[in-house]
Structure 1
């Protein structure tokens, strides 16, 4: 005990130096000893160095294998600076000087390499302890509870038709997933486990709230959401309202339809809802700015017409009563928008600018300014078919990024490349010639007359070689990395340069594989993540699982976490109400049925064998 007390009384710098020689598992155990060790063991530069040591970038560096090839300050190789004869004391002094120069040289070179690798920008807050876990810890797939019909069998699950995250305003560590279901209902899951079991269904509306679902013949209603539409749900956390691609606005606190808006064509995509700007809605061949914050007088509260009117004037009166001001509309030269992104202001993650970017089944990313809408402001030529966008409020240069990837910049050059005023980054994914395409665009903004902002498209990076051999489906920011999903069922994490792969994970199948499954073990039968969402809530959260990845397969929801524990599945949410005697009897019946099946198969094999011998009939 006395030794432990004396050990804790050492200065923090000495303790941190000692901790650097411990393994990761030992450091994790040590931080639970006391608050002091917890603070020291979570040191950000320490874990930043461990992230660098574990990164693939050091595989290209022979830093610690240089030996005597290092040179001193005058450019003379250190191996030549050692005298071959002389006084022993003089020889010892030279060796100390050489060792000091070599140490300083290595420290400077290591600092330069770390600056080239470091993906963060000035002013960006990073928890390097969590970053190390998300880069190196085991990954696990968790499957959410599947919704079922009210009076139907538990084996029949209702498909999920989309997803958006709902974080109640000013609620700490609460996060919910909101989805429309195949029967026209709305379902809400608990993502963090704050009110119910993690991944369980928190509430579900009545069937047919959004549309009438399936008819008696099994055909879907023509008013339902198209299965090819990915961005069909958007949530305003401050107003506790959800918007669905049918034009409905639903109050999430009461699960009731508040308003419904008609558009001339089918809704293909929507932007994320934000209380400070209108919702951008993309139909088959146009874009709308839908300002849902404006309240219109309901028809039943309008003044009724008392005077008798002719049939012609009566029809005109009904048209005037139904009239609503049309939202701003921008026609698209080519149909098929698939993703609408509202970009942040430079250097501000939580502040939206007036820039709107649209990607879809056309070969360019369209740029609109909300103040100049519906006029188009510019476009970024891609050549591919893009389906997902995200952004960073920091600058990007393809030349500097390539030089940093090869570790060729000095620390001053790295700092200068990251400090460009008004710089932002737009990230896109999709396909090009049936292969995955990950694209990064550098944007810069500057004021011309003190008010108007001119956007210039400075730099472009397109990774169409090493991203994936199949189409990329969704891309988001995750910590200091990018993560995207592809058509092979993989989630791949990349550095922000878009080329260096950090790790990958295959999500698998939602159903548990059994020995009776014919297709469970076949290659290529895994589910694919059509949409990714980060579950990050607060920056200061102390758990690394605060930033897990929620994904939607087109039928079910899942969560990729970082843990050595096995994940949960939909079967784990089914309550077992049977007694031990009933469970034993059911198991005995299953064993008996399996034995009878095998016996019948053997009997059938014997009959076929006798018939194949061609024995004469008696």
Structure 2
């Protein structure tokens, strides 16, 4: 088989199942390279997609269908388009060849209809198949502990941001803690410190509570200040300048990540609710409950006494064209609170007349600003939903109707033309009448290509965050679900709930057994049902009812905006994962497959094992105290679960009443 040309080997590989293709990679380097061919895995992604499986099920006629009608349906399905009369006459003598060619053309048209890529976009379909069908894994970062080490108390993260390396892969995760400190985590997956906290500042740094206060006072005041506003988009990291911006109440803290010292503090008239991305030298957009500001890091911070802002009574009508007022010179004053997400479209794009800044939040419209004419508004778009998160794709939006047309040569040409056109897709996640709403807006300089799609039934609860992940979209909802859909925002790909236990799998071993256990699964990936999962919790187990507040890709979105080829080179197998920040203040990584484990060594557990062994040597008294503390923790967890269940029931009743207009 080895002397065979590559073309013949590739043709043979197309007849193998995905598991067999994966095993074939271990034979030789040549077969490894051939088994990773993008065309093979693109075809496998298409064949195993939910849309294609649904189409094949529809082709299977019901048992009570008339045999002649079923034969007619099968014949019609084999027709891929209108053929010239001459070609049909030539193929009349060889019906098998004609049927084969018709089936091939129809299959090619169906593949083109499904193809999620755009012109010039480079995609690793081997990794796409892993992320679509391989089992997922949950890895939780080391938690910040406080108090006595035996108490097991932890500090919750109040936000999250990512510092990307020069290759565009997440290098460090930056998180403010509820005690006012900043923690730095190592998350690239290629060092022995994976998932560990590698640096942490003193408490009270972000809350501006120094050593002039005693420990307890500084801790209590810092915790009150850090948890008062509760903004989700409260951290923005400038990877180029190695700086991070943290919003705490109405103060914007600029921190040098090299020294972990506060460079400046800028005070705003109201509590900060959203921060845009930070990329030097573009000014960052800061949203407060009632205002919008441009923050230029090249300017010195404005003293608190110089910040003056006065709100005048808002309009009596609900016209969204009056949602803003720019009468304060350089600031935009809002008549409705408050912005929750601010999106900067790439500035290197061709001018499309849509401006650079998009703002969404509790008000039911988008605000669009052109940074060159700020604070004058560029336009508004009515949505009707209360939005939680905004993101964008550097590609035009393909209408659902165009993809659903009958596959043919003309449809394929129309799809190619639509994908090649310049434009962007604005993606918004939020809530509409108590249901999760996922909205897509096509932004283009050509009015005929401007379109809109709203999926008001994306989830039974509010959507909290959305991000682009490969050729898919991923979003989280208020029930703890993570859901992946195609770029049409309607075709499901996979989903799981972060609170669900691993199906048909024993619970994770206690820390004492981790040191003696050895993994038995072979390297590489194991292709299983999308519903299957694997989970490893390196600290205390998750409490029931946790939710994902923020999703951050481990590959920088700017790579997809500016350099698709570099994005493909940087996204080595297992690096295109998702960082999450949950409602319980936890930080974790969602990976896929058995070969992309982000954490290989549970260092913190080995330390716990050693400490437990030392405590065991102290006698039975220490073991009794340990059992008593464990019993207390169990009661605390049970009480938290009961309170969460009661609050969830109250929230469900409130959503049900809102459905009746109450």
TM over 0.5: yes
Aligned counterpart, 1:437: 437
Decide whether the 8 Å contact of 2:555 with 2:571 is kept in 1: no
Summarize the alignment of residues 318-329 of structure 1 with structure 2, pairs less than 5 Å apart.
328-329=330-331
Shift of residue 28, structure 1, vs aligned partner: 1.6
Gaps of 5+ in 1: 1-6, 82-92, 300-317, 447-454, 516-521, 598-618
Describe the shift of the 1:173–1:61 C-alpha distance in structure 2 as closer, same or farther (beyond 3 A).
closer
Shift of residue 529, structure 1, vs aligned partner: 0.2
Describe the shift of the 1:355–1:14 C-alpha distance in structure 2 as closer, same or farther (beyond 3 A).
same
Gaps of 5+ in 2: 61-72, 210-215, 309-327, 502-506, 511-540, 557-566, 632-662
What is the CA–CA distance in structure 1 between the aligned matches of 2:497 and 2:480, rounded to whole Å?
6
Equivalent position to 2:454, from 454, 459, 462: 462
SS of the residue 1:141 aligns to: strand
Summarize the alignment of residues 332-411 of structure 1 with structure 2, pairs less than 5 Å apart.
332-344=334-346, 355-398=356-399, 401-405=400-404, 408=407, 410-411=411-412
Decide whether the 8 Å contact of 1:231 with 1:338 is kept in 2: yes
What is the CA–CA distance in structure 1 between the aligned matches of 2:17 and 2:127, rounded to whole Å?
17
Aligned counterpart, 2:499: 508
Describe the shift of the 1:55–1:255 C-alpha distance in structure 2 as closer, same or farther (beyond 3 A).
same
Matched, 1:556 2:586: yes
What is the CA–CA distance in structure 2 between the aligned matches of 1:73 and 1:404, rounded to whole Å?
16
What is the CA–CA distance in structure 1 between the aligned matches of 2:118 and 2:81, rounded to whole Å?
31
Cα shift readout 1:483-521 (whole Å, capped 9, x = no counterpart): 0000111100000111111000211289x8999xxxxxx
Shift of residue 20, structure 1, vs aligned partner: 1.1
SS of the residue 2:110 aligns to: helix
Aligned counterpart, 1:235: 237
What is the CA–CA distance in structure 2 between the aligned matches of 1:272 and 1:592, rounded to whole Å?
46
Shift of residue 208, structure 1, vs aligned partner: 1.2
Shift of residue 72, structure 1, vs aligned partner: 9.8
What is the CA–CA distance in structure 2 between the aligned matches of 1:424 and 1:37, rounded to whole Å?
39
SS of the residue 1:445 aligns to: coil
Decide whether the 8 Å contact of 2:429 with 2:463 is kept in 1: yes
What is the CA–CA distance in structure 1 between the aligned matches of 2:353 and 2:196, rounded to whole Å?
33
SS of the residue 1:530 aligns to: strand
Aligned counterpart, 1:146: 143
Describe the shift of the 1:121–1:542 C-alpha distance in structure 2 as closer, same or farther (beyond 3 A).
closer
What is the CA–CA distance in structure 2 between the aligned matches of 1:72 and 1:258, rounded to whole Å?
65
Decide whether the 8 Å contact of 1:343 with 1:353 is kept in 2: no
Q: More deviation in 246-255 or 187-196?
A: 187-196
Shift of residue 34, structure 1, vs aligned partner: 2.9
Shift of residue 564, structure 1, vs aligned partner: 3.9
Shift of residue 60, structure 1, vs aligned partner: 3.4
Describe the shift of the 1:339–1:574 C-alpha distance in structure 2 as closer, same or farther (beyond 3 A).
farther
SS of the residue 1:175 aligns to: strand
Matched, 1:489 2:518: no
Decide whether the 8 Å contact of 2:180 with 2:223 is kept in 1: no
Q: More deviation in 541-550 or 110-119?
A: 541-550
Matched, 1:533 2:552: yes
Decide whether the 8 Å contact of 2:466 with 2:476 is kept in 1: yes
Describe the shift of the 1:149–1:526 C-alpha distance in structure 2 as closer, same or farther (beyond 3 A).
same
Decide whether the 8 Å contact of 2:343 with 2:391 is kept in 1: yes
Matched, 1:42 2:69: no
Matched, 1:499 2:524: no
Shift of residue 295, structure 1, vs aligned partner: 4.9
Indicate the structure whose relative CO is greater, using CA pairs within 8 Å and at least 6 residues apart.
Answer: 2
SS of the residue 2:451 aligns to: strand
Describe the shift of the 1:405–1:162 C-alpha distance in structure 2 as closer, same or farther (beyond 3 A).
farther
Decide whether the 8 Å contact of 1:242 with 1:250 is kept in 2: yes
Cα shift readout 1:175-213 (whole Å, capped 9, x = no counterpart): 111011111110011111344422111111111111157
Decide whether the 8 Å contact of 1:145 with 1:573 is kept in 2: no
What is the CA–CA distance in structure 2 between the aligned matches of 1:151 and 1:580, rounded to whole Å?
18
Q: More deviation in 266-275 or 94-103?
A: 94-103
Describe the shift of the 1:227–1:262 C-alpha distance in structure 2 as closer, same or farther (beyond 3 A).
closer
Matched, 1:576 2:609: yes
Aligned counterpart, 1:259: 264
Q: More deviation in 487-496 or 550-559?
A: 550-559
Describe the shift of the 1:224–1:573 C-alpha distance in structure 2 as closer, same or farther (beyond 3 A).
farther
Decide whether the 8 Å contact of 2:194 with 2:598 is kept in 1: no
Aligned counterpart, 2:467: 476
Shift of residue 575, structure 1, vs aligned partner: 3.3
Bigger Rg, structure 1 or 2: 1
**TM-score normalised by structure 2 residue count:** 0.72
Shift of residue 235, structure 1, vs aligned partner: 0.6
Decide whether the 8 Å contact of 1:161 with 1:179 is kept in 2: yes
Shift of residue 225, structure 1, vs aligned partner: 5.2
Describe the shift of the 1:118–1:251 C-alpha distance in structure 2 as closer, same or farther (beyond 3 A).
same
RMSD: 3.9
Q: More deviation in 375-384 or 20-29?
A: 20-29
Cα shift readout 1:511-569 (whole Å, capped 9, x = no counterpart): x8999xxxxxx999231000000012553146332111111013110111112489978
Shift of residue 334, structure 1, vs aligned partner: 1.4
Describe the shift of the 1:75–1:216 C-alpha distance in structure 2 as closer, same or farther (beyond 3 A).
closer
What is the CA–CA distance in structure 1 between the aligned matches of 2:587 and 2:401, rounded to whole Å?
37
What is the CA–CA distance in structure 2 between the aligned matches of 1:571 and 1:74, rounded to whole Å?
66
Cα shift readout 1:28-86 (whole Å, capped 9, x = no counterpart): 22223333222211111111100000001113334987655545998799xx99xxxxx
Decide whether the 8 Å contact of 1:481 with 1:494 is kept in 2: yes
Summarize the alignment of residues 70-469 of structure 1 with structure 2, pairs less than 5 Å apart.
70=78, 97-149=94-146, 153=150, 155-168=152-165, 170=166, 175-211=171-207, 215=217, 218=220, 220=222, 223-224=225-226, 226-245=228-247, 246-295=251-300, 328-344=330-346, 355-398=356-399, 401-405=400-404, 408=407, 410-420=411-421, 422-445=422-445, 458-465=450-457, 467-469=458-460
What is the CA–CA distance in structure 2 between the aligned matches of 1:456 and 1:71, rounded to whole Å?
31
Decide whether the 8 Å contact of 2:615 with 2:623 is kept in 1: no
What is the CA–CA distance in structure 2 between the aligned matches of 1:592 and 1:387, rounded to whole Å?
43
Shift of residue 96, structure 1, vs aligned partner: 7.4
Describe the shift of the 1:67–1:354 C-alpha distance in structure 2 as closer, same or farther (beyond 3 A).
closer
**TM-score normalised by structure 1 residue count:** 0.77
SS of the residue 2:466 aligns to: strand
What is the CA–CA distance in structure 1 between the aligned matches of 2:18 and 2:389, rounded to whole Å?
36
Cα shift readout 1:369-418 (whole Å, capped 9, x = no counterpart): 001100010111110100101111211143xx233146556211211221
| Aligned residue-pair number | 533
